[in-house]
């Protein structure tokens, strides 16, 4: 699944769904999110089936990934770095993308551009919903004929993080896997201030 998501991002305007949403959502919520609030939020998350929080230096974030899920090869290019974990069925994934923004952009302009680009080039693609939660994270939900994705965005200056989970739509949704991926995504803490930065020093590992 990671390879397909990566190709989807790199070769098609679905990058406009993940990377462009990182521009748009980040501009909307960059001053409202703090790592302290995200860490406090972890107290309300069910960690069953998840590993202990792990600092992932490549994407400058911490996350409790699902136990026994496969750590996929890191994808890195000048635009973004992408780390994903894939379920045993290979139908569900959770990941973190660190995107590098070229310049500060007006949020309304970028949201409009992202939607126009995605709807123009992905004929089967749909942006299903957008919202901002109580922690200030900008969420999105979208799908095309292959994938269904839900994720959120935070930003710090010229960097934006997209934390997401998703599944292949050609297979019956595995509720247990999707629930585990959703809880894993909720544990993520991007390095948006010194509190998170102090912890984010290690590469991802494959330890159970």
**Which string of DSSP letters, residue by residue, matches 80-95?**
EEEEEEE-TTSSEEEE
* Selection from 33, 13, 23, 3 nearest residue 135 by Cα: 33
State the Cα–Cα distance between residues 196 and 42, nearest whole angstrom: 13
The pLDDT assigned to 137 comes to: 84
* pLDDT tens digits, one per residue of 34-44: 888 898 998 89
Q: Which sequence spans correspond to the domains of the chain?
A: 2-197
* pLDDT tens digits, one per residue of 179-208: 999 999 999 999 887 655 555 444 555 545
**Confidence (pTM):** 0.77
* Selection from 185, 186, 189, 187 nearest residue 199 by Cα: 189
State the Cα–Cα distance between residues 86 and 96, nearest whole angstrom: 12
The pLDDT assigned to 30 comes to: 41
Structure tokens at 150: 């839900």
* pLDDT tens digits, one per residue of 106-165: 334 444 555 555 555 556 667 788 888 888 888 888 887 888 889 888 877 778 788 999
* Selection from 27, 25, 33, 18 nearest residue 192 by Cα: 33
Could you please state the CATH topology (level 3) that the domain comprising 2-197 is classified under: Protein Transport Mog1p; Chain A (3.40.1000)
């Amino acid at each position: 699944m990671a390879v397909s998501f990566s190709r989807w991002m790199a070769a098609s305007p679905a990058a406009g769904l993940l990377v462009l949403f990182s521009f748009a959502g980040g501009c909307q919520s960059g001053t409202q999110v703090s790592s302290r609030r995200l860490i406090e939020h972890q107290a309300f998350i069910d960690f069953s089936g998840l590993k202990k929080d792990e600092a992932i230096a490549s994407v400058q974030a911490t996350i409790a990934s699902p136990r026994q899920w496969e750590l996929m090869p890191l994808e890195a290019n000048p635009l973004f770095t992408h780390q994903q974990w894939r379920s045993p069925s290979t139908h569900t994934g959770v990941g973190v993308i660190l995107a590098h923004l070229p310049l500060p952009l007006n949020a309304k302009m970028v949201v409009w551009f992202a939607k126009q680009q995605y709807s123009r080039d992905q004929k089967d693609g749909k942006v299903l919903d957008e919202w901002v939660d109580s922690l200030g994270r900008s969420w999105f939900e979208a799908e095309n004929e292959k994938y269904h994705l839900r994720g959120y965005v935070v930003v710090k200056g010229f960097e934006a993080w997209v934390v997401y989970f998703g599944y292949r739509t050609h297979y019956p949704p595995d509720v247990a896997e999707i629930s585990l991926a959703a809880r894993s995504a909720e544990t993520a803490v991007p390095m948006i201030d010194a509190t998170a930065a102090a912890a984010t020093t290690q590469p991802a590992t494959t330890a159970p």
